[in-house]
Amino acid sequence: MTVVRDAAKAALKAQRIETPSWGYGNSGTRFKVFAQPGVPRTPWEKLDDASKVHEFTGVAPEVSLHIPWDRVDDYAALAAYAKERGLELGAINSNTFQDDDYRLGSVCHPDPKVRRKAVDHLLDCVDIMDATGSKDLKLWFADGTNYPGQDDIAARQDRLAESLAEVYARLGDDQRILLEYKLFEPAFYATDVPDWGTSYAHCLRLGPKARVVVDTGHHAPGTNIEFIVAFLLREGRLGGFDFNSRFYADDDLMVGSADPFQLFRIMHEVAKNGGLRTETNVAFMLDQCHNIEAKIPAVIRSVMNVQEATAKALLVDRDALTAAQAAGDVLAANAVLMDAYNTDVRPLLREVREEQGLNPDPVAAYAASGWQERIAAERVGGEQAGWGA
């Protein structure tokens, strides 16, 4: 077991979890956004907060941006600012859902003028990637319809395919499109990319630089997400994750908080099918809303939850598992998996952190750092960042 344990520690030290700039800002439900003291007012302040998460966890050096929420005049300066804080700018997330023109969709809109505007925004995002050095354009489309008959389902697919092709053609050699799918919300009848199959089919047509991104909160009840993960890895089309958790719909709770066993099963498929290897190029991103809990500590906790699930996945006794599976011993095979899951990996992770020169308890370390008090005192005036801000 020492060998497994050492390999696990090495992998845990190499892990990279990307945090989203918008996770540091205010968010809420359609009913209410509860503001919190100290919330960033600018992209620069979001990076300041992200740097704290990385400082205390050691595995969160990348930050996803959201355009236009993180629009700045000088993206190279933003990237340099990140670099000074030990960070890199990660995926660029497009936003084609918060302009009045997008009431009936963006790249699938019946009106070609609106589609043009949307595609131009996506092309702008690639320009920004050039400036920031970001490699991934993450596309989530709020497109869809609320009522049967409202628009033509197949025609919308044609428009989607055409729009994606134009953006794909603009990608640089080392840039990718990560195409997200989502069952519903904000569209309530038919969403234009509702499931992994739709995203996968479009990626296939686009080419090798297009991959599927799995948001763990975007599935119908009962969907086996780890199956999708295993399938996409087998096909070489898993681009990354938007991690969060849910009890009901796209709740966007902290990853691992609703069903930690599911997160473990997902990480088990990732680990077993080569998804942790650098060359597989899977992006492990968070995409969450901290509506009622303190934001920076919630991101830290989320990063730790991914680490814990990963650690457990790395501790699975693969040889024993394979042997039990080959023997058709249902209970033994299940027991091998559960043995890893039931292990308390927190001591192991404390060790990992200490060996990296970190405080073994990131939550306590952050609390003791005074950062929260400082931002609450200093970030007064101006408009807090948030969804839509």
Interface residues for a second copy in 2-31 (CB under 8 A)? 27-31
Query: In terms of CB distance, is 14 or 188 closer to a second copy?
Result: 188
Shortest distance, position 151 Cβ to a second copy, whole Å? 5
Query: In terms of CB distance, is 74 or 224 closer to a second copy?
Result: 224
Residue type, 74: D
Number of residues forming the site for a second copy (CB under 8 A): 106
Residue 251 touches a second copy, criterion: CB under 8 A = yes
Bridge partners (DSSP) of residue 20 are 64
The two three-digit tokens of residue 375, written as one number: 């931002």
Site residues for a second copy, window 108-137 (CB under 8 A)?
Answer: 110-111
Query: In terms of CB distance, is 357 or 370 closer to a second copy?
Result: 370
CA angle, residues 353, 357, 362, in degrees to nearest 5: 50
Q: What is the 3-state secondary structure (H, E, C) of the chain?
A: CHHHHHHHHHHHHHCCCEEEHHHHCECECCCCECCCCCCCCCHHHHHHHHHHHHHHHCCCCEEEEECCCCCCCCHHHHHHHHHHCCCEEEEEECCCCCCHHHHHCCCCCCCHHHHHHHHHHHHHHHHHHHHHCCCEEEECCCCEECCCCCCCHHHHHHHHHHHHHHHHHHCCCCCEEEEECCCCCCCCCEECCCCHHHHHHHHHHHCCCEEEEEECCCCCCCCCHHHHHHHHHHHCCEEEEEECECCCCCCCECCCCCCHHHHHHHHHHHHHCCCCCHHHCCEEEECCCCCCCCHHHHHHHHHHHHHHHHHHHHHCCHHHHHHHHHCCCHHHHHHHHHHHHHCCCHHHHHHHHHHCCCCCCHHHHHHHHCHHHHHHHHCCCCCCCECCC
Site residues for a second copy, window 190-219 (CB under 8 A)?
Answer: 190-191, 194-198, 200-201, 204, 219
Shortest distance, position 181 Cβ to a second copy, whole Å? 10
Shortest distance, position 255 Cβ to a second copy, whole Å? 12
74, 84, 293, 354: which one binds a second copy (CB under 8 A): 293
Residue 246 touches a second copy, criterion: CB under 8 A = yes
Query: In terms of CB distance, is 83 or 205 closer to a second copy?
Result: 205
42, 150, 281, 356: which one binds a second copy (CB under 8 A): 150
Shortest distance, position 60 Cβ to a second copy, whole Å? 17
The Cα 241–Cα 228 span in angstroms is 12
Query: In terms of CB distance, is 70 or 88 closer to a second copy?
Result: 70
The region of 18-26, 86-94, 139-147, 171-179 touching a second copy under the rule CB under 8 A is 139-147
Site residues for a second copy, window 67-96 (CB under 8 A)?
Answer: none
Shortest distance, position 200 Cβ to a second copy, whole Å? 6
Residue 247 touches a second copy, criterion: CB under 8 A = yes
Site residues for a second copy, window 310-349 (CB under 8 A)?
Answer: 321-322, 324-326, 328, 330-331, 333-338, 341-344, 346
Shortest distance, position 46 Cβ to a second copy, whole Å? 19
Q: Quick one: 123 exposed, middle or buried, by C-beta within 10 A (0-12, 13-18, 19+)?
A: middle
Give the CA dihedral 265, 271, 275, 279, nearest 10 degrees. Answer: 170
Query: In terms of CB distance, is 133 or 388 closer to a second copy?
Result: 388
The region of 55-63, 65-73, 77-85, 260-268 touching a second copy under the rule CB under 8 A is 260-268
Site residues for a second copy, window 32-71 (CB under 8 A)?
Answer: 32, 34-35
Query: In terms of CB distance, is 15 or 291 closer to a second copy?
Result: 291
Shortest distance, position 323 Cβ to a second copy, whole Å? 11
Residue 221 touches a second copy, criterion: CB under 8 A = yes
The two three-digit tokens of residue 93, written as one number: 């997330």
Residue 389 touches a second copy, criterion: CB under 8 A = no
Query: In terms of CB distance, is 62 or 226 closer to a second copy?
Result: 226
Residue 188 touches a second copy, criterion: CB under 8 A = yes
